[in-house]
Structure 1
Amino acid sequence: MPLQEQTSLWSDTTIKMLDEYSGTLQTGSVLRETELTSNVLLLAYGGEGELTMNGEVCHIGASFAGHVVKGTSLTLTARSDDIYYIVIMYKASSMEGASLVLPSYRKHPLRTSFVQNSVTQAEWIENAEKIVAKWRRGEGMERFHANALLQGMIYELIMDYERGQGGEASDMVDVVASYIAAHYRRNLELKELAALAGCSLRQLQRRFKQEKQLGLTEYVIQLRMESASRMLRHTDAPIGEIADRMGYRDMYYFSRAFKKYYGVPPLRYRLDAASKTDIDYAHSLQRNRTASSYESAQGSVICHMRGEYYVIGSPKRIAVLDVQYADHLLALGLSPAGSVGLGNAVLHFPQTIRAGLQNTELLGTYEYPDLLAVERLSPDLIICTEVHEPHYEQLSRIAPVLMFKRNENWQTILTLFGELTGKREEAKRIIADYHRRTTLLSEELAPVLAGKSVALIRPLDSLVRVHSASHRTGAVLYHDLGLPVPSFVADTSDTAYHISVDRLPAVHASHYFLLSHELMQEGISATEQRVWGMLDTVERQHIHSVDAATWIGCYGPTGINGIVDQIAQALLA
């Protein structure tokens, strides 16, 4: 989703008050609402009691504020002393002509029922009473002011709520799922999980099944089997060692459990997976029409965004207009004749691959390639991305051109480079080594990150980009290494979600990998300084500043393995 569209989702949202009422609950009395027809802001103070929403019971203190979404059934019970309450009904909608879609991250606050205990009684109640008083006057400007005050109150409540997420008040399913993900390799007692969630076992089982579509035991088995499957496919660890890692002391019991889950015993699964790898990869290449290859009577043919390239012989002088392609060639033991570099005033190659490019001509930058330098180079082949579409005709007059999407999977590109240069086996080995390494590191990191999450963030001019698993660097963290995703972005299908710096605490990650442009800008930007200041002292110990240019731009085997190195160093320190 484009940045402008994402940032407008909040600014185009308006709050409209619908109605209100208030009263006093005497001890033992009950306020009951069934299937609310609008969102509700509920504020109360006085005695202690219980607030039940859709069957879930929450103990409330002497004062609290609650946000209750449309369709919820609630019951407020006064247990000791009287409770004075105010109910304000409202709806959230978009301004005329604006998108009706709310921001898509998980548990969006305007779609979530939650309670904030121990709110500042005087301030909140005073503001609520002012809203009610203005609303009851029924005058245009007074009701306009009531809506403005209500919007401010909802903002404050949301900010308090998001700052409080990730601590003791976190959703029980998130807490338990995170704990299981870190400890599924050992025997877990269901009573232990219920105690962790702070509820009864029956309540936990019902909520967990509702959210995960799996029971607790089934969820543990799924994590064990998926991890075992990955080790069988990408490592040569003995079956007994894998069984032990997954928490099975008896290898034969593990084999029976694995066969029940996958339909074949572990050894057969490993053998079948090895034979299917090349076939599956060939099929995936065939389905990708803009980055694939096939065999013809004339030899290998590489499909790219602008057509097909017949590999008659391995090109000797290759010019690459993206640093990641230089990385691919170096990984295969080759060096490009020319490559674009990094930087603005002073151009250079990334530190990770600089030594291998000593005899490589500099061809400008990715955004601004030096076409005259490319022409002087007299290459046999030019490899570029869709960004260089405006230069395609001019480049084609110099040499044959291969054009790929810049965000194409690096393993796909490496495989095609292997076809192009006669280094097929080397490409396969590099990919297999990567999978083996990340599989083993994933096992090592899992217990270290028990109950924690890892965020990938990038400060922009005035916002912060929070990357998801759909982003190609995010995929290294969340897919290849299996690091826990913050619930804030867990369900988004976009590559990133954009938020203001003030709302950064809502991400609630234990570790932040901050993509910094400090090296490119020769200093930290004002937004990046605000990011550091926004996270509290405890969280600041877990901010890992990394170079955005290498983490985002140098997307080849060396660069990716360098990212994995930095992740391991940061999280295992």
Structure 2
Amino acid sequence: MPLQEQTSGWSDTAIKMLDGYSGTLQTGSVLSETQLTSNVLLLACGGEGELAMNGEVCHIGASFACHVVEGTSFTLTARSDELYYIVIMYKASSMEGASHVIPSYRKHPLQTSFIQNPVTQAEWIENAEKIVAKWRRGEGLERFYANALLQGMIYELIMAYERGQGGAESDMVDVVVSYISSHFRQNLELKELAALAGCSVRQLQRRFKQEKELGPMEYVIQLRMESASRMLRHTDASIGEIADKMGYRDMYYFSRAFKKYVGVPPLHYRLAAASKTDADYANTLLQNRAASSYESAQGPVICHMRGEYTVTELPQRIAVLDVQYADHLIALGLSPAGSVGVGSATFHFPQYIRAGLQATELLGTYEYPDLLAVERLSPDLIICTEVHDQHVERLSRIAPVLMFKRNESWQTILSLFGELTGKRAEAKRILADYHRRTALLSEELAPVLAGKSVALIRPLDSLVRVHSASHRTGAVLYRDLGLSVPLFVADTSDTAYHISVERLPAVQASHYFLLSNQFMQDGISATEQRVLGMLDGAERQHVHSVDAATWIGCYGPMGNNGIVDQIAQALLG
């Protein structure tokens, strides 16, 4: 029965992702799964290898996708180069109350193990990576999105499978395509490919062109030129070496073939690609440059996201467009001429540094700086973050601009501010004091929190954000003070992820630092109330509400020392 006649059965079929992971197999390495407890999508790309499944061994080429049903065992072996693989596990079932079971016509794709080899759609690998990444983030919308992407991928895979069920002619093309993908660097002939397919040369050409929209030898040339293009872009191999690897004994014949296919000779292609790559690389380096400094004959040079700034004389009127930079300057005994503040309806400076900003002009907020106020201020230096990139051209007409990543290490920024303002010794002392203080506090907390973990959470509209050790405030808890991350979040590489309020008890932390907005508004939000209500009586004694604006926004030596004060009071008090 054709696929399109199964509409009702398909519409009642539910797909639920269970897990996903990825990895790389070195040559000779093996990935093996026995007696699968769920259906599996297995995708791989890179070198060549073998896939053993259901007692049969299949040679796999540069890339493939495989559907493996529950109860099956498989073994994937890398035979040449590295094989990058992705595994996605899922269950397929009929939705509750549906009048249909999963369709059983012919061999239904969801109940059949099959291989699509090769996978020419690069987006399949990209989508599989996205599915796994979204799934690994945790809960809520991320996993909902992963499941939606998975359903789309299964649809694409089944459609490809169904197209291949048209009979021996479809099979012959698949066999030839698979063989070409693994042997296109060799000297291939049409009669050899036809013999492999068990048909005449004319039959192969006709059928191949119907399915691939080009002839088999044209397909060979396409794969060769795509591979040659990659080598020209990413290796130092000579044109002759590339020609030889692509199966051309004559370098000049290869050059003519390449020019016919790409439009330019190989050397011109390489030079153009290198020029573009160099420009892109230089731009990427600049945009992602880590803040640093070095000495020059003219004075200290500060490296930032927009270039380099030589400190020929100490700036006297500094405007900062992030409160954390005001924190740094005050810690060094200085005061900015102008600084952004915090707030929404009304703007103000944070309470903990307000005393050091008595003569400082208010310049709007971090998200919405008041550029007219900056112009009126006439500073001799402006310090901002990548968020202000859209304003840099206008700001640069006022004064030199230094741009740092907002999440750059505060310790790095403090050292650079010491170079910039002639306060090197003060910066070193502040850092030494902080490291000594956190080391002593860490020793004091160790016996008190033995076997206990601490979570950093922030209620949002309807979800809870759980911060990891990668978050800059999380780093104070988990890196500087050595507190234990809950196992629930210990393996995340992101700064935070989201879970539903109902899932919060699964974090199983002994102490919760709850980033609250109640200090900036009357009362607490409904989500925050639900969070507090979700924790039982015993746990609730260990929920410590702290000011979200200070703990997240005021990322400087004074702000972080204040956070350490609150941590000590909460955990030792």
With structure 1 as the length reference, what TM-score do the two structures score? 0.53
Q: Distance in 2 between matches of 1:36 and 1:374?
A: 67
Inter-CA distance 445–308: structure 2 relative to 1 (3 Å threshold): same
Give the C-alpha shift of residue 37 in structure 1: 1.8
Q: Which of 96, 104, 108 is residue 136 of structure 2 equivalent to?
A: 104
Q: Distance in 2 between matches of 1:383 and 1:319?
A: 6
Q: Distance in 1 between matches of 2:439 and 2:549?
A: 26
In structure 2, the residue matched to 1:244 is none
Q: Distance in 1 between matches of 2:445 and 2:341?
A: 34
In structure 1, the residue matched to 2:477 is 477
Contact residue 138 and residue 498 of structure 2 kept, 8 A? no
Is 1:460 the counterpart of 2:492 in the alignment? Answer: no
Inter-CA distance 306–412: structure 2 relative to 1 (3 Å threshold): same
Give the C-alpha shift of residue 105 in structure 1: 6.5
Contact residue 105 and residue 489 of structure 1 kept, 8 A? no
Contact residue 518 and residue 524 of structure 2 kept, 8 A? yes
Cα shift readout 1:48-89 (whole Å, capped 9, x = no counterpart): xxxxxxxxxxxxxxxxxxxxx9999xxxxxxxxxxxxxxxxx
Structure 1 residues 148-547: aligned runs within 5 Å: 289-547=289-547
Contact residue 105 and residue 488 of structure 1 kept, 8 A? no
Give the SS at the match of 2:570. Answer: helix
Inter-CA distance 392–445: structure 2 relative to 1 (3 Å threshold): same
In structure 2, the residue matched to 1:37 is 36
In structure 1, the residue matched to 2:281 is none
Cα shift readout 1:476-529 (whole Å, capped 9, x = no counterpart): 000000001100011111111211111001000000000111223433112111
Give the C-alpha shift of residue 36 in structure 1: 3.6
Give the C-alpha shift of residue 14 in structure 1: 4.3
Give the SS at the match of 2:544. Answer: strand
Q: Distance in 2 between matches of 1:403 and 1:294?
A: 17
Q: Distance in 1 between matches of 2:303 and 2:446?
A: 39
Greater relative CO (CA pairs within 8 A, separation 6+) = 1
Give the SS at the match of 1:353. Answer: helix
Contact residue 321 and residue 340 of structure 1 kept, 8 A? yes
Give the C-alpha shift of residue 289 in structure 1: 3.4
Q: Distance in 1 between matches of 2:515 and 2:38?
A: 38
Structure 1 residues 542-553: aligned runs within 5 Å: 542-553=542-553
Q: Distance in 2 between matches of 1:399 and 1:441?
A: 42
Contact residue 458 and residue 466 of structure 2 kept, 8 A? yes
Inter-CA distance 106–442: structure 2 relative to 1 (3 Å threshold): farther
Partner amino acid, structure 1, of 2:549? A
Q: Distance in 2 between matches of 1:389 and 1:13?
A: 42
Give the SS at the match of 1:445. Answer: helix
Q: Distance in 2 between matches of 1:392 and 1:93?
A: 53
Give the C-alpha shift of residue 402 in structure 1: 0.5
Give the SS at the match of 2:352. Answer: coil
Structure 1 unmatched runs, 5+? 1-10, 17-33, 41-68, 73-89, 108-285
Q: Distance in 1 between matches of 2:15 and 2:499?
A: 14
Q: Distance in 2 between matches of 1:70 and 1:551?
A: 50
Partner amino acid, structure 2, of 1:103? W
Q: Distance in 2 between matches of 1:369 and 1:375?
A: 11
Q: Distance in 1 between matches of 2:305 and 2:493?
A: 25
Task: Look at both structures and tell me which one has the larger radius of gyration over its CA atoms.
Answer: 2
Give the SS at the match of 2:497. Answer: strand
Contact residue 477 and residue 483 of structure 2 kept, 8 A? yes
Give the SS at the match of 2:336. Answer: coil
Q: Distance in 1 between matches of 2:315 and 2:15?
A: 54
Q: Distance in 1 between matches of 2:547 and 2:492?
A: 25
Inter-CA distance 388–504: structure 2 relative to 1 (3 Å threshold): same
| Runs of 4+ that moved beyond 2 A | 11-16, 69-72, 90-98, 100-107, 519-523
Contact residue 105 and residue 490 of structure 1 kept, 8 A? no
Inter-CA distance 348–93: structure 2 relative to 1 (3 Å threshold): farther
Structure 2 unmatched runs, 5+? 1-13, 20-32, 40-69, 74-88, 94-109, 111-123, 140-285
In structure 1, the residue matched to 2:555 is 555
In structure 1, the residue matched to 2:99 is none
Q: Distance in 2 between matches of 1:399 and 1:426?
A: 26
Q: Distance in 2 between matches of 1:522 and 1:106?
A: 32
Inter-CA distance 12–327: structure 2 relative to 1 (3 Å threshold): farther
Contact residue 468 and residue 496 of structure 2 kept, 8 A? yes
Q: Distance in 1 between matches of 2:565 and 2:135?
A: 34
Q: Distance in 1 between matches of 2:393 and 2:15?
A: 43
Cα shift readout 1:525-550 (whole Å, capped 9, x = no counterpart): 12111111111111111000011100
Contact residue 453 and residue 511 of structure 2 kept, 8 A? yes
Q: Distance in 1 between matches of 2:295 and 2:34?
A: 63
Q: Distance in 1 between matches of 2:137 and 2:488?
A: 6
Inter-CA distance 70–340: structure 2 relative to 1 (3 Å threshold): farther
Give the C-alpha shift of residue 92 in structure 1: 3.9
Q: Distance in 2 between matches of 1:497 and 1:570?
A: 25
Give the C-alpha shift of residue 91 in structure 1: 3.8
Q: Distance in 1 between matches of 2:388 and 2:541?
A: 41
Cα shift readout 1:410-442 (whole Å, capped 9, x = no counterpart): 000000000000000110110011000000000
Contact residue 463 and residue 527 of structure 1 kept, 8 A? yes
State the identity %.
Answer: 77
Q: Distance in 2 between matches of 1:528 and 1:70?
A: 45
Inter-CA distance 508–93: structure 2 relative to 1 (3 Å threshold): farther
Partner amino acid, structure 1, of 2:37? S
